[in-house]
Amino acid sequence: MPTKSPLVPTVDKTVAQHNALINARFSFVPLEMRLFISLLTRIELTDEHFCEHFVPMAEIIHERTGGSAYEEVKQMCDNITSRRLYIEKLVDTQQGTRKRSKKPDFEFIPLMAKAAYESDRGGVVASFNPLIMPYLLQLRESGNFTLAQLEQLNKLKSFYSYRIYWLLKEYATFKKRTITIAQLRFLLDLQDGQYPRFNNLRTRILDKAQSEMQLTDMPFTYELQKQGKVVSEVKFLLTDPNDSELIPAKSPSSETPVWEQTLAQIGVGKQSLALVSQQLEAGEYEVDYIAYVVRIVEGQFRKGKIKKPAGAIYKALIEKYLFADYQQAKKASGTKKKQVTELAIKTNEVAYRLREVREIYDNPGPYAQRQKRADSFEQHLQQVYLQDGFTLEQRGGEDWIIKQA
């Protein structure tokens, strides 16, 4: 197996996992989690095969050094090679990629091909099992993956916080995720005897994750749903981007512009980001337009009209086909300081121009789920909007569909 030279991951490194891996059943102790993250950071988007990597002790043992630490790492290598993922099988497509199934079968797959402590080099040589390549390699080709920043992952100390971070990161676009207690126990690989009382699970896992993730880009609150007196579900609530100001040009804590961090997290590639940056520098549009495009596309994604938000966002930016609508909305708002979105006129309502809804229906684009398309626009309007509480109104000589928030 080829070996790559040691790498020192930078704090702004982006790591990726297939969503099927995020929702697999497995567990780690903290040292195993750190090795897993270190190997993730050494995967490049262009990699077609796994390589052996050397991970220095400093990336695995943070608190101390000495004989006991080395013994723990050696024991960790022995333990992690026996770890197995209980993960859904992906389905081969005609395009040569693999996708998730609506009713997947699950299988056990060993996580590691190798993990060995080398005392003379002061670290671990490890590699992933080739059977999990579809869940970690060539993800841009297959889609259905989630990105995270190493800087954010390094803030997490508990394995359960790490798992909940990824589970919520997958749903960052939706700003919420509801997980049943049974699902949560499955995902976190909790055995029958672990935290049998919900109050213990809440204190040791939910509250701890909430505390640790408060310092990351994924702070959350949660609500408990009950059936009778028994807690049946946890509803995780993420920060609503519509409550924030416009995406600023620069982050106060990073040289990377926030718009670039935002698009990278959605899945826009580095080369695409470079082209967007060139357009910004050339004055073809402003950062406000990026915010507008993200909001519009996220709205379409939530309605099931777009499968791959990253591709739709990039196309809208490069081809600027939403720019005229953005300018019109900006002019109507009367200010450049408020975020321009399709969530329109009043803070207590959601509003869409009827003509924009019609344009989306008539021109679903290459990313739309055409099999769910209604037979007529009137049926589409009824099924997607009017049944959901929207009403038709006319404002300023233009037709809108409105829903009170």
Q: Is the pLDDT of residue 163 over 80?
A: yes
For residue 311, the tally of other CB atoms under 10 A from its CB is: 20
Q: Average pLDDT in the 165-192 region? A: 92
pLDDT tens for each residue of 202-253: 999 999 999 999 889 999 999 999 988 899 999 999 864 334 333 444 444 4
Q: Average pLDDT in the 148-170 region? A: 93
Q: Is the pLDDT of residue 404 over 60?
A: yes
pLDDT tens for each residue of 2-51: 555 445 455 568 899 999 999 999 999 989 999 999 999 999 878 899 99
| Most confident of the ranges 140-154, 332-346, 382-396 | 140-154
pLDDT tens for each residue of 53-87: 999 998 998 766 566 888 999 999 999 999 999 99
Q: Is the pLDDT of residue 274 over 60?
A: yes
Tell me whether the CATH fold assigned to 1-154 matches the one assigned to 156-239: yes
Confidence (pLDDT) at 338: 40
At 3, the amino acid letter reads T
Q: Is the pLDDT of residue 370 over 50?
A: no
Q: Is the pLDDT of residue 324 over 50?
A: yes
Least confident of 128-137, 186-195, 266-275, 332-341: 332-341
Residue 23 CA to residue 87 CA, distance in Å, equals 8
What kind of architecture, by CATH, is found in domain 1-154?
Answer: Orthogonal Bundle (1.10)
Q: Average pLDDT in the 249-269 region? A: 69
Confidence (pLDDT) at 329: 76
More confident residue, 248 or 288: 288
Confidence (pLDDT) at 330: 74
The rounded mean pLDDT for the chain is 81
Residue 294: partners with Cβ closer than 8 Å, 6 or more residues away: 247, 262, 263, 266, 313
Confidence (pLDDT) at 368: 42
Q: Average pLDDT in the 187-194 region? A: 90
SS (H, E, C) the chain: CCECCCCCCCCCCEEEEEHHHHCCECCCCHHHHHHHHHHHHCCCCCCCCCCEEEEEHHHCCCCCCCHHHHHHHHHHHHHHCCCEEEEECCEECCCCCEECCCCCCEEEEECEEEEEEECCCCEEEEEECHHHHHHCCCHHHHCCEEEEEHHHHCCCCCHHHHHHHHHHHCCCCCCEEEEEHHHHHHHCCCCCCCCCCHHHHHHHHHHHHHHHHCCCCCCEEEEEEEECCEEEEEEEEECCHHHCCCCCCCCCCCCCCHHHHHHHHHCCCHHHHHHHHHHHHCCCCCHHHHHHHHHHHHHHHHCCCCCCHHHHHHHHHHHCCCHHHHHHHHHHHCCCCCCCCCCCCCCCEEEEEHHHHHHHHHCCCCCCCHHHCCCCHHHHHHHHCHHHCCEEEEECCEEEEEEEC
Residues in the chain, total: 405
Domain ranges of the chain: 1-154, 156-239, 267-340, 344-405
Confidence (pLDDT) at 256: 72
Confidence (pLDDT) at 138: 87
Confidence (pLDDT) at 337: 36
Confidence (pLDDT) at 346: 37
Confidence (pLDDT) at 394: 78
For residue 240, the tally of other CB atoms under 10 A from its CB is: 9
Confidence (pLDDT) at 237: 93
How many percent of the chain have pLDDT more than 70?
Answer: 80
Rounded to two decimals, the pTM is 0.59
What kind of architecture, by CATH, is found in domain 156-239?
Answer: Orthogonal Bundle (1.10)
pLDDT band at 383 (very low <50, low <70, confident <90, very high): confident
Confidence (pLDDT) at 265: 76
